[in-house]
Structure 1
Amino acid sequence: MNRKEIQVFDHILERTDFKDCAGKINISIFESEVRSWVPYFVYLPPNWNKEETYPLVLFLHGQGGDEGTFNKYVQAEQLNKWILSGDIEPVVIAGIRGDNNRDNVQWFTEENESLLIQEKGGEFLQFCQNSFNAGNQGTRISIEGHSRGAAGAIHYYLKYPNLFSSILAMGYVSDYTLDNNFLQGRNNLAMIKREATPLRLEIGTEDSFVRMKNRRASFEIHQFLRENSIDHSFEILHGVEHGFDTYWNYYSEEDMLNGLAHLKFHERSRNRNCR
């Protein structure tokens, strides 16, 4: 595939200059050895400066989603306000399209591991480091996933327990991944306990996959972790349905938007690891 052909890939242009992208959510493509050209999004904080280093939050979308899912439900202005008011520190948020077939998204494939795991090449991590100066240190990279993205987040938590500063999984209902995740958990049990990477699980009381299809993944992984004395939090969110937007826009009893609570959770975890 030559560069002329890539300029019309899903009508997404390759961006190489980000100096005017601060405070915005941008969609572009980058070249990967394992998956050729990969669409991605990136949010750069206000006053982003290539000379400064930033923590990185990786967002894993669900089935049917893509690089536009985060931007569909989260406004850059909302993130800018939280950063400029001092609610959270400046952070880069980024994510790739999990598969060109949006119905076949599996974050645990060898190709996606090669993009997101440093010891396997970590092509997207390296791209974020080179392009945005984000996630340069392992203790400053977090994962946040929804639905099949939550299944991916759990996979990385259990298989690579010492590589990320925090993991957050919303709406984990992919029951077919449980057996392999239990296997990874048992294989790495000692390291998971020793590393104690902060993990937050969330499931909504109105999740249709739970209510209508009896999906038990969130509850069973919670039980597995509890039985093995692995510290984590498990939040049941009243009134929340399956969509990513309902998780992000949920208001806690403290009257805090859940999206802000997520970013605070990742920040506390980074700070703990840096002590």
Structure 2
Amino acid sequence: MKRFLFLMICLVIHSLSGAAQQILKEMPTGYDAVRSDAPAGKIDTIQYQSKTVGSERKALVYTPPGFSKKKKYPVLYLLHGIGGDEKEWLKGGNPQLILDNLYAEKKIEPMIVVMPNGRAMKDDRATGNIMAQDKVAAFATFEKDLLNDLIPFIESKYPAYTDREHRAIAGLSMGGGQSLNFGLGNLDRFAWVGGFSSAPNTKVPNELMPDPEEAKKKLKLLFISCGDNDRLITFSKRTHDYMFEHQVPHIYYIEPGVHDFKVWKNGLYMFSQFLFKPVDNSSLSKYTILGTRAETNIRSAQYPQILPDNRVVFRVKAPEAQKVQIDLGKKYEMKKDTGGYWMVTTDSIGKGFHYYSLIVDGVALADPSSETFYGMGRMASGIEIPYRNGGYYALKDVAHGDIRIRKYLSKTTGTWREMYVYTPPGYDQSTEKYPVLYLLHGGGEDQRGWATQGKTNLILDNLIAEGKAKPMVIVMLDGNMGGAGGIAGFNEGVLKSFENELKSGAIPFVESAFRVQTDAKNRALAGLSMGGMQTLYAGIRNSEMFSSLGVFSSGWFANNTALTAPQYEFMKDNSDKINGNIKNLWISMGGQEDIAFNNCKIMRAKFDELGVKYTYSEYAGGHTWPVWRHDLFQFSQLLFK
């Protein structure tokens, strides 16, 4: 395991900038030990009068080597955890040695470091039940003690700068939560904020930073670090996720480790080197050892890991294999270590959801560390890459609908078929009848696609909660009707089979099994790629059944006269009827990189010629799920209004 971690660190170091290489290479080797060539700073115990607490309180103050009262210094306030006091850093972290050595190497600015007792109460010792309500509450009270008592005392007794640009705050565990709460909550007092393994006292992100734009202007650096096996990592990650979404520059530093001083010392070592210097925000995503495990990993899998710049680290154990690759559209060659683990770090991967496969000695397989998804005509692995504009499909604290799986005996095929059905929040408690959207998947996928890869339920939950979409039932159908796949599958017979199934099988079943409106103005049809073509065929030919049609990344094949000629002939003869019935014919494309772009462009020109009215939209991203999620997000807001 130690050899693996060493190789992992070397792998990441190799790909980072020179500044990051310097820090990462030197951090693990004697950075917290006594060195004969490093002049020593000094640690004093001070007492200050706290009006907040009503007593004298203690703190430790580190002054750097060569400290002079004739010179002014910036100040770092360094906070302890729930089980410690002002001496915890000194006992467990050797902060004076870390800083002395960094001074000797000319890697940090001279600074005063104040280590206070963050438990602001008269009996502030870490004795008895440290989780008692009054003792936990005292950590929040410390904000007043810090701002109104301790900082003024330090700035009156030491030659310290008194402006926010020369004041920093950081801490471990409970102190990490305090640092984020107090630092981000008082950006007029602190410009540098660090949270090491921040604890559950950390405020939720929108309370920590209600105005990200203001924070971008005032923050010099936000540093968030944690061990990858720390059970409290979720509090660091949710803060990072919010900063990522709102484009607030920060470092999210993940390393091998748990909730202990190894991680916290490393946090101090890293954070202190950035303080009170110009910061290159463009380089911040490079500072990490490990990535964050993908949300698509199975429950306990640590890999794949996503680095802050969206490169992905894959690790697979296959000791007997001769050759292993990762296929993400581009194939990456993996290298084997002596333990039989194969590893590779990819290029930066685009936003959102991607299918991928392991190729082991030429055989394409699902990654046992990843959730599997039906796509590409088989079960494949999938990975979700963070997307800062993906808040519309994030899991939020709003009312949630349900995804229901229903099987029905199809009268048209004589077989049992399956559909996934989204019912909006409050469906079971209501007697209301809802409008319904029939939503179709693409080729190589099935009825599961929109529910799993597409995140339909989360998109609608959030839109309904914001009042941007009407509560509706969404029926995700299986559009596979047998026969050949690919272009050969798009023939009149196969499309006709789907039309019959929709009209005679799926819709009657839904209208008998769910509380839905049964008139055209409360019925819509949409689909992506293959499902877009099915929408064109069944929707246009039955315009009296639907008020809206959504065609995502699709279009009639321009080179297939046998298929397109009868469709355009029908539309020519029925253009007035189509325009009168379909209130929203919404056509969208994933930009010029979308493989359906040219066919759709030709189709739209034909629609213009025929006088068929439509609305067109583009969203850059290609023929991929991030585009189709956004299509659903936009299209659903137009429906039933």
Please indicate the TM-score interval, normalised by the length of the shorter structure.
Answer: 0.7 to 0.9
Give the Cα–Cα distance (whole angstroms) in 2 for the partners of residues 269 and 144 of structure 1: 18
Unpaired segments of 5 or more residues in structure 2?
Answer: 1-39, 282-641
Give the Cα–Cα distance (whole angstroms) in 1 for the partners of residues 74 and 109 of structure 2: 9
- The 1:182/1:106 distance shift into structure 2, 3 A limit, reads farther
Match of 1:261 in 2: 270
Give the Cα–Cα distance (whole angstroms) in 2 for the partners of residues 206 and 60 of structure 1: 22
8 Å CA contact 2:72–2:159 kept in 1: the answer is yes
Match of 1:183 in 2: 207
Give the Cα–Cα distance (whole angstroms) in 2 for the partners of residues 75 and 178 of structure 1: 27
Q: Look up the equivalent residue of 2:262 and give its one-letter code.
A: T
Q: What per-residue deviation string (whole Å, max 9, x for no partner) do you get for residues 129-184 of structure 1?
A: 1222124222101011111111111112332223212111100131x5444x5224
Give the Cα–Cα distance (whole angstroms) in 2 for the partners of residues 107 and 134 of structure 1: 27
- The root-mean-square deviation of aligned C-alpha atoms, in Å, is 2.5
Question: 1:30 aligned to 33, 45, 48, which one?
Answer: 48
Q: What per-residue deviation string (whole Å, max 9, x for no partner) do you get for residues 14-38 of structure 1?
A: xxxxxxxx82222232211112211
Give the Cα–Cα distance (whole angstroms) in 2 for the partners of residues 105 and 91 of structure 1: 30
Match of 1:253 in 2: none
Give the Cα–Cα distance (whole angstroms) in 2 for the partners of residues 44 and 236 of structure 1: 29
Aligned-pair CA distance for 1:270? 8.4
Match of 2:216 in 1: 193
Question: 1:242 aligned to 234, 244, 259, which one?
Answer: 259
Aligned-pair CA distance for 1:199? 0.3
Unpaired segments of 5 or more residues in structure 1?
Answer: 1-21, 251-257
Please state whether the residue corresponding to 1:216 is helix, strand or coil: helix
Give the Cα–Cα distance (whole angstroms) in 2 for the partners of residues 137 and 28 of structure 1: 22
| Structure 1 segment 107-122 matched on structure 2, within 5 A | 109=140, 111-117=141-147, 122=148
- The 1:50/1:172 distance shift into structure 2, 3 A limit, reads same
Give the Cα–Cα distance (whole angstroms) in 2 for the partners of residues 94 and 105 of structure 1: 21
8 Å CA contact 1:198–1:269 kept in 2: the answer is no
Give the Cα–Cα distance (whole angstroms) in 2 for the partners of residues 185 and 93 of structure 1: 26
8 Å CA contact 2:51–2:145 kept in 1: the answer is no
Q: What per-residue deviation string (whole Å, max 9, x for no partner) do you get for residues 194-243 of structure 1?
A: 32431010010122x24xxxx621111111122222221111112x2212
Question: 2:83 aligned to 64, 68, 75, which one?
Answer: 64
| Structure 1 segment 5-24 matched on structure 2, within 5 A | 23-24=41-42
Structure of greater Rg: 2
Match of 2:316 in 1: none
8 Å CA contact 2:172–2:264 kept in 1: the answer is no
- The 1:76/1:87 distance shift into structure 2, 3 A limit, reads same
Match of 2:164 in 1: 138
How many residue pairs align between the two structures? 229
Q: Look up the equivalent residue of 1:81 and give its one-letter code.
A: N
Give the Cα–Cα distance (whole angstroms) in 1 for the partners of residues 149 and 279 of structure 2: 22
Q: Look up the equivalent residue of 2:191 and give its one-letter code.
A: S
Task: Give the TM-score of the pair, scaled to structure 2.
Answer: 0.33
- The 1:81/1:183 distance shift into structure 2, 3 A limit, reads closer
Give the Cα–Cα distance (whole angstroms) in 1 for the partners of residues 277 and 203 of structure 2: 28
Aligned-pair CA distance for 1:77? 4.1
Give the Cα–Cα distance (whole angstroms) in 1 for the partners of residues 170 and 159 of structure 2: 20
Please state whether the residue corresponding to 1:28 is helix, strand or coil: strand
Considering fraction of residues, name the structure with more strand.
2
- The 1:166/1:155 distance shift into structure 2, 3 A limit, reads same
Task: Give the TM-score of the pair, scaled to structure 1.
Answer: 0.74
8 Å CA contact 1:144–1:150 kept in 2: the answer is yes
Match of 1:205 in 2: 228
Aligned-pair CA distance for 1:101? 5.2
- The 1:86/1:190 distance shift into structure 2, 3 A limit, reads closer
Q: Look up the equivalent residue of 2:276 and give its one-letter code.
A: E
Q: What per-residue deviation string (whole Å, max 9, x for no partner) do you get for residues 47-86 of structure 1?
A: 2111211110000111011010121121534423322442
Question: 1:166 aligned to 171, 179, 192, which one?
Answer: 192
Give the Cα–Cα distance (whole angstroms) in 1 for the partners of residues 101 and 219 of structure 2: 31
8 Å CA contact 2:180–2:208 kept in 1: the answer is no
Question: 1:44 aligned to 44, 49, 63, which one?
Answer: 63
Give the Cα–Cα distance (whole angstroms) in 1 for the partners of residues 137 and 278 of structure 2: 26
Considering fraction of residues, name the structure with more helix.
1
Higher relative CO (CA 8 A, sep ≥ 6), structure 1 or 2? 1
